Amino acid sequence: DQQVKQNSPSLSVQEGRISILNCDYTNSMFDYFLWYKKYPAEGPTFLISISSIKDKNEDGRFTVFLNKSAKHLSLHIVPSQPGDSAVYFCAASAGAQKLVFGQGTRLTINP
């Protein structure tokens, strides 16, 4: 039951360029979407979120886009920095219910 999918297990981007991470979901009850960054042996760190009433949210170098009709969201990081190298998880929830996570995308920023 993969309600949240990240189809790219890995992504490699050159430093300074844009990183685009994608996520698809199937449950139309989801109304809140989040991106987390995770290093090995650490807990997920919140990056940015978006409510289903919006289609874009921006915070510094990070922008999340939501396309409700396509049930798709994406995270843009620009410019990408070496410290951005980590595993990125997309997550979705309905109200205060559990977060449903995607499988993660390992982002590597090359100098």
Partner 1 sequence: EPEVTQTPSHQVTQMGQEVILRCVPISNHLYFYWYRQILGQKVEFLVSFYNNEISEKSEIFDDQFSVERPDGSNFTLKIRSTKLEDSAMYFCASIAGKNTEAFFGQGTRLTVV
Contact 52, 31 (CB under 8 A): yes
Site residues for partner 1, window 2-31 (CB under 8 A)? 31
Contact flag: residue 60 with partner 1 (CB under 8 A): no
Residues 42 and 33: their CA atoms lie apart, in Å, by 21
Which of 24, 44, 63, 71 forms a contact with partner 1 (CB under 8 A)?
Answer: 44
- Residue 102 pairs in a beta bridge with none
Contact flag: residue 75 with partner 1 (CB under 8 A): no
Contact flag: residue 57 with partner 1 (CB under 8 A): no
Contact flag: residue 63 with partner 1 (CB under 8 A): no
Which of 12, 14, 97, 110 forms a contact with partner 1 (CB under 8 A)?
Answer: 97
Q: Do the bridges between strand 105-110 and strand 10-14 make them parallel or antiparallel, or are there none, so unpaired?
A: parallel
Contact flag: residue 51 with partner 1 (CB under 8 A): yes
Which of 46, 56, 82, 110 forms a contact with partner 1 (CB under 8 A)?
Answer: 46
Q: Where are the beta strands (DSSP E) in the chain?
A: 4-5, 10-14, 19-25, 32-38, 45-51, 56-59, 62-67, 72-77, 86-93, 100-101, 105-110
Which of 93, 105, 107, 109 forms a contact with partner 1 (CB under 8 A)?
Answer: 93
